[in-house]
Amino acid sequence: MHYFLAKNTDWIEALKLEIIQTLGCSKDQVKTFPQLPLLAIDDSFDITNKYMGFSTTALLNSKEIPEDSISNQAKAISSAIVEKLGAGTKINLDIFSMTNKYGIIETGRAEIIKDKVIKNLKANKIFPLRKKKDFGLPFVQAMVHAGRDVALSILDASEVQTNRTLLSPFVGGFNNVEDDKKAPSRAFKKIIEAQTIMGLTSSLEETLVDLGASPGGWSYVGRKQGAKVIALDRSPLREDLMADSKVEFMKADAFKFVTDNKIDWVVSDIICLPPRIIELIQTWVVAKKCRRFIFTIKFQGKEDYPILSEFKELAATLDFNVIIKQLNANKNEVTIMGWEK
Ligand SMILES: C[S@@+](CC[C@H](N)C(=O)[O-])C[C@H]1O[C@@H](n2cnc3c(N)ncnc32)[C@H](O)[C@@H]1O
């Protein structure tokens, strides 16, 4: 099975339509799970290099490990990992439960299984990374669901590359960026989450162009990371950002702005119809005027969702690694982000 996780159950309908549209399957071929933000399809459907905007993460080519004792399930998971990946490797390893009451949790049964799996793997010199994900390494996810069944997805390093857009650095795709009371708006969480997914942050020597920047959440993050910011909006940013010598504010139409030189980061949180974001991709990404980009695609209603397929078609033609994903911090939005290959 291929499992796709959504941000929460509010997005299941949108994700289901997207799966049907992207993979050409019928409604009946998409398996649903009552009250869980989870859908599944048979793994005979080819998901290689496919984008799934409303999916926060996916467990691809999963095998089911039926309800059993914790030790037996841990043994079955460990053996499957050794069999597929061989001994002597580092891996990304997430083991979590999907619950309707608490969402994604890593405690209880999932935690005990994980401890046992780590012990079993040690004997084969397979070592799970402790902190950050490394998308250059195999990716193992085990999800306890539907009672005590476990869905186990093991991707080797090359499968991780071809399915990078469907995977997440966050366990079960769930993330809650820590609050920052000094940020001028809650929107600052979007750029942090997107950068974490990309595995990149802006830095001292870099310039970040922030389109539709006011009141300045994204510019604030860029400045905290040390970058120089060029911010465009019709309204000013918060006073401290306006006074910052490393912030150049331009009261202008963000769609009319281009630069002669290549910019490190171009980001946009402009409130506009989705086709205007396609224009931004043409201006900055197709024309290779930026090295990295993050653009939110804002929907007015459900009728806008099919336009995602235009973004996907365009993404496939770019010389960029592209991820299209609904962020935990997104509302009725999906974010498209990318970095030069
Ligand atoms: C959601 S807010 C941006 C929030 C910002 N990212 C933050 O973190 O504080 C969207 C902004 O887009 C601006 N905007 C909309 N159309 C624009 C345009 N054509 N040119 C420049 N700014 C525009 C609005 O004025 C508004 O401030």
> What are the residue numbers of the active site?
298
222 ligand 1 Cβ < 6 A = no
- In whole angstroms, what is the distance from residue 174 CA to residue 269 CA? 21
Could you name the CATH architecture of 1-174?
2-Layer Sandwich (3.30)
- In whole angstroms, what is the distance from residue 49 CA to residue 165 CA? 8
pLDDT of res. 145: 87
Q: Relative to the CA of 219, which ligand 1 atom is closest?
A: 8
Residue 262 DSSP class: P
pTM over 0.85: yes
Could you name the CATH architecture of 188-340?
3-Layer(aba) Sandwich (3.40)
255 ligand 1 Cβ < 6 A = yes
pLDDT, tens digit (0-9, with 9 covering 90-100), for 247-292 = 999 999 999 999 999 999 999 999 999 999 999 999 999 999 999 9
273 touches 299 (CB < 8 A): no
pLDDT of res. 236: 98
256 ligand 1 Cβ < 6 A = no
The three state secondary structure string of 177-245 is CCCCCCCCCCCHHHHHHHHHHHCCCCCCCCEEEEECCCCCHHHHHHHHCCCEEEEEECCCCCHHHHCCC
- In whole angstroms, what is the distance from residue 92 CA to residue 71 CA? 21
Quick one: CA dihedral 299, 301, 305, 310, positive or negative? Answer: negative
214 ligand 1 Cβ < 6 A = yes
* Mutation test residue for ligand 1: of 180, 182, 211, 214, the one with most atoms within 8 Å of CB: 214
* Mutation test residue for ligand 1: of 211, 269, 272, the one with most atoms within 8 Å of CB: 269
SS3 of the chain: helix, strand, coil, percent, to 5: 35, 25, 40
How far apart are the CA of 232 and the centre of ligand 1, in A?
8
pLDDT, tens digit (0-9, with 9 covering 90-100), for 143-192 = 998 778 999 999 999 999 999 999 999 999 999 899 999 999 999 999 99
Instruction: Give 338's Cβ-side CA count (13 Å radius).
Output: 24
Give pLDDT < 50 ranges for the chain.
Answer: none
Domain range summary for the chain, segments of one domain joined by +: 1-174, 188-340
- Closest listed residue to residue 146, CA positions, set 6, 58, 32, 69: 32
How far apart are the CA of 219 and the centre of ligand 1, in A?
12
